[in-house]
Amino acid sequence: MMKKISKEKIQRSALESDQELGNRRSARVRHRVAWMYYAEEMTQNEIAETLGVGRVTVARLLADAKALNEIKISLRHEFEELASLEAALQKRFQLDRAIVAPVSSQYADPTPAIAAATGELIGEVIKPNMLLGVGWGRTLLRTLPFIDESDTPGLTIVSLLGGISAVKQYNPAEFAWRFSRLFQADCYLIAAPAVVDSKETKTALIERCGIGPVFELAHKLDAVLLSVGSTAPNSTAQLFDVFPDEERKSLIAAGAVGDVLFNFYDVDGQIVDHPSNERVMSVPIVQLKEVPLRILTSGGLDKVPALLGALRMLRPHILVTDEIAARAILEVS
């Protein structure tokens, strides 16, 4: 005999299901609001306008996130769509791990979100007695506020690229030094410009001017942390006048879509045949490809071709990017 279910019990069950669904939706909105505020550095008014809610609602969600211990310097975010993107990237490019940072829209600057995710990753990766090689650029420089300071015995940081002499509002080339201070680590710099006037000058500096030992040290690296540059007029190389605009256009004509340590390559991950690549004071890409742990962090729609080429060239173990770039990379690869 079938047991009779009361109308009240059915209504109560439906109400509980609605409440559970509402709680899940609220959690997703709360996490996104917290990420936009703390990682993307948007104001509460900007978040309210973007999401189409009131500023009071944004303030309440941020307060709830704090009360639920979801906010440290990073966020506990478990977005299903991000996990799907991460899994797809890992499979497509044979990554050990992909980290996809959420952004509010395709028009938002993804750099703060990527920097926050990278800073959290660094805390997991850094180990005592590690020899870590690092590049430089705006993305890496923005990670510094998101890295927890800690005294790490035996850690050594090696800058993989020379510096710049004309510093404007900020100096992306000083990333290695500032990074090393966070961990009380030794730091080795390439005491030369990022780009010199000729291949002969590069050879002379390495062989006769005291920076050869840094290049030798790079053969023993345990890990590298690298970002990607584009060939756009607003790239770091252009903002700091590393290459004149005529040279940038010449590199594009040769097939360049981006650079790693100012080594320019095409979308297939092949170094382009261009004189600029012979004048860069960086550890060779072929050497970096042999490092046991390779981390690549960058994003933005404008960098999709550059990211795709870098993935094919470096075959990194870990990729950190944003959700908009992640989708675009998967679509074009």
Contact 259, 306 (CB under 8 A): yes
Q: Which helix (H) or strand (E) holds 61?
A: helix 55-67
- The per-residue pLDDT for 236 is 83
The two beta strands, 131-134 and 223-226, are parallel
- The per-residue pLDDT for 302 is 94
Task: Give the rounded distance of the alpha carbon of 233 from its chain centre.
Answer: 20
CATH architecture, range 13-67 = Orthogonal Bundle (1.10)
φ/ψ (deg, to 5) at 295:
-115, 130
Residue position matching structure tokens 């977005």: 79
Strand order across the beta sheet in which 131-134 lies: 97-101, 318-322, 293-297, 223-226, 131-134, 156-159, 186-188
Question: Is 254 exposed, middle or buried (CB count within 10 Å of its CB: 0-12, 13-18, 19+)?
Answer: middle
Domain ranges of the chain: 13-67, 80-332
Residues 226 and 41: their CA atoms lie apart, in Å, by 23
- The per-residue pLDDT for 157 is 96
User: For the domain bounded by 80-332, which CATH number is listed?
Assistant: 3.40.50.1360
CA atoms within 13 A on the CB side of 282: 27
- The per-residue pLDDT for 270 is 98
- The per-residue pLDDT for 72 is 64
Which residues are CB-contacts of 16 (< 8 A; sequence separation ≥ 6)? none
CA atoms within 13 A on the CB side of 86: 17
* Low-confidence stretches of the chain (pLDDT beneath 70): 1-25, 72-79, 166-170
The beta strand positions in the chain, using DSSP E, are 97-101, 131-134, 156-159, 186-188, 223-226, 229-230, 258-260, 263-265, 293-297, 318-322
Residues 261 and 245: their CA atoms lie apart, in Å, by 18
- The per-residue pLDDT for 166 is 67
- The per-residue pLDDT for 10 is 42
Question: Is 25 exposed, middle or buried (CB count within 10 Å of its CB: 0-12, 13-18, 19+)?
Answer: exposed
Structure pTM?
0.78
Three-state secondary structure call for residue 228: coil
Q: What is the DSSP string of 171-197?
A: -GGGHHHHHHHHTT-EEE---SBSB-S
